[in-house]
Amino acid sequence: MVKSFLKIHNSILGSIREPLILLDSDLKVVTANSAFYRTFNVKPADTEGVLIYDLGNRQWDIPDLKKLLEDILSQNASFHDFEVEHDFETIGRKIMHLNARRIYDQGNQTQLILLAIEDVTEREYYKKHLEELVEERTAEIRKLTEKLEAERAYLQEEIKLVYNHEDIVGKSDAIHYVFFKVEQIAATDTNVLILGETGTGKELVARAIHGTSPRKDRALVKMNCAALPANLIESELFGHEKGAFTGAQSRRLGRFEVADGATLFLDEIGELPLELQPKLLRVIEDGEFERLGSSETRKVDVRLIAATNRDLQAEVKKGAFREDLWYRLNIFPITMPPLRDRMDDIPLLVNFYIDRISKRLGKVIKVIPAGVMDALQQYHWPGNVRELENVLERAVINSSGPKLRLVDELKKPLKDTPRPGQTLEKVERDHITHVLEQTGWKVSGKNSASEILGLDRSTLRARMRKLNIRKP
């Protein structure tokens, strides 16, 4: 009767894609379908008549299988989705769902047992690890979103700024040499140190380098080291975790993370506190740092451009600046010349600024008197291009007609002009003090020292502290 049963059902068993095996009452293999032989890499001759536990060098000697076939099935006609996890010699570790059913019964005694095997290894793996995978992907998305949000916020801040000018203007030999240096270095990832007095346009050089570099599709991220209190600079550069310090209400990405894959411009690098310089040196050398309040090391790819109006070599000798950091920054220095050394550029600069300022203010200035241009060319411009722009803006505001009317007194003695042997620091101190005295020590607001110098209020106060300038 069993043979007759098998003959009827053979075609059905062979058409089913999942592995099937038919056992007799002694749990010996009667037959199996092709899917079984293929899946478990066995042959019919090696299976038929063999106790199921002895199959394939006893690979099927599975305690859970014995529990199903000998204990559970004896109490039930069928059982579904019995999970077994086992290491097979031929096919490795598998997770299987077993469905067992008595399909031929004679006198209430099991004659045949049909065992269907479903390989759910991959499904169960992903099921078991789904939460972990979701968490990993969510963390990646959160990290990317956080970075994009930080960059978006930074760009929104940048949009609000009014830049000194959109391009470097000039035809003098000094400016042409700057152009040459920019072209030399732009295509590389080499660190650049831009030197020059306040107001000479060091940021413009940084923007020119970034704008012609392979990183130009990303924003130039910048930070003024003199515009922040020392206790906030580390957080601004490297970021912080929530609760890292009083007032840290949420996690924040620092400028290095925002600039990952782009360029970071650190203005007034000479003002960086000595205690933070090793951390900056490390990220320059290794591209590694930790946020405040975190022990997790982060990797970034950042091209660094730094600028200063200070003599860093002199600062190194004084112990105010690390020598090893100076060497890492000073790989490719570019010096922006002061305006007094490029007086031939003043007519170009004047026309450039008058045109731009007039459009912004809704004015029409068509005539620049020869006397005005002479006065502009004879002045020594201690505040450089930034001072020139401020003077011209005041002139445009005060011009009621198409003729430019100069309101600033530019026939000052040249006492601010650097003399041989003077340091940049002394020149800067004298100039800032002179302007403060002229304004009655008015730091901010209309006709204040910060307005004349072309500095924001916080930067001027920081310079005053650094240079030990105090109102008498």
Query: How does pLDDT run across 221-236, given as a tens digit for each residue?
Result: 999 998 888 778 888 8
- The mean-pLDDT minimum among 3-12, 115-124, 320-329 falls in 3-12
Under the banding of pLDDT at 50, 70 and 90, the label for residue 4 is low
Residues near 4 by Cβ (< 8 Å), separated by ≥ 6?
A: none
Q: Answer yes or no: are the C-beta atoms of 153 and 236 closer than 8 Å.
A: no
Under the banding of pLDDT at 50, 70 and 90, the label for residue 381 is very high
pLDDT at 145 over 50: yes
Sorted by where each begins, the domain ranges of the chain are: 2-119, 162-335, 340-466
Rg over alpha carbons for the chain, rounded to the nearest Å, is 39
Q: What is the pLDDT of residue 335?
A: 94
Within this chain, domains 2-119 and 340-466 share the same CATH topology: no
- The mean-pLDDT minimum among 44-48, 293-297, 311-315, 425-429 falls in 425-429
Under the banding of pLDDT at 50, 70 and 90, the label for residue 6 is low
pLDDT at 413 over 70: no
Ordered alpha helix ranges (H), 32-120: 34-40, 55-58, 63-66
SS3 361: helix
- The mean-pLDDT minimum among 116-125, 163-172, 338-347 falls in 163-172
Topology, domain 340-466: Helicase, Ruva Protein; domain 3 (1.10.8)
139 vs 109: which has the higher pLDDT: 139
Burial environment of residue 141 by CB neighbours within 10 A (0 to 12, 13 to 18, 19 or more): exposed
76 vs 387: which has the higher pLDDT: 387
Q: What is the pLDDT of residue 416?
A: 47
Counted residue by residue, the chain has a size of 472
Q: What is the pLDDT of residue 161?
A: 38
Q: What is the pLDDT of residue 309?
A: 92
Q: What is the pLDDT of residue 150?
A: 64
pLDDT tens-place string over residues 432-471: 888 888 777 888 877 788 877 767 777 788 888 888 888 8
Residues near 403 by Cβ (< 8 Å), separated by ≥ 6?
A: 365, 366, 367, 368, 369
Find the mean pLDDT for residues 415-421: 50
pLDDT at 337 over 60: yes
| Domain 162-335 -> CATH class | alpha beta
Burial environment of residue 407 by CB neighbours within 10 A (0 to 12, 13 to 18, 19 or more): exposed
Burial environment of residue 452 by CB neighbours within 10 A (0 to 12, 13 to 18, 19 or more): buried
Joined tokens for residue 134: 């979701």
Find the mean pLDDT for residues 401-428: 68
Q: What is the pLDDT of residue 385?
A: 92
Q: Answer yes or no: are the C-beta atoms of 378 and 339 closer than 8 Å.
A: no
CATH code for the structural domain at 2-119: 3.30.450.20
Q: What is the pLDDT of residue 263?
A: 95
DSSP 154-208: HHHHHHH---S-SS----SHHHHHHHHHHHHHTTS---EEEE--TTS-HHHHHHH
pLDDT tens-place string over residues 90-116: 777 888 888 887 776 555 555 788 888
Under the banding of pLDDT at 50, 70 and 90, the label for residue 357 is very high
pLDDT tens-place string over residues 241-285: 887 777 777 778 889 998 999 999 999 999 999 999 999 999 999
Q: What is the pLDDT of residue 67?
A: 79
What's the whole-model pTM score?
A: 0.58
**Distance (Å, rounded) from C-alpha 52 to C-alpha 364?**
100
Q: What is the pLDDT of residue 376?
A: 92
Using CA atoms of 49, 55, 61, 65 in order, give the dihedral in degrees to the nearest 10.
Answer: -70
Mean pLDDT of the chain: 82
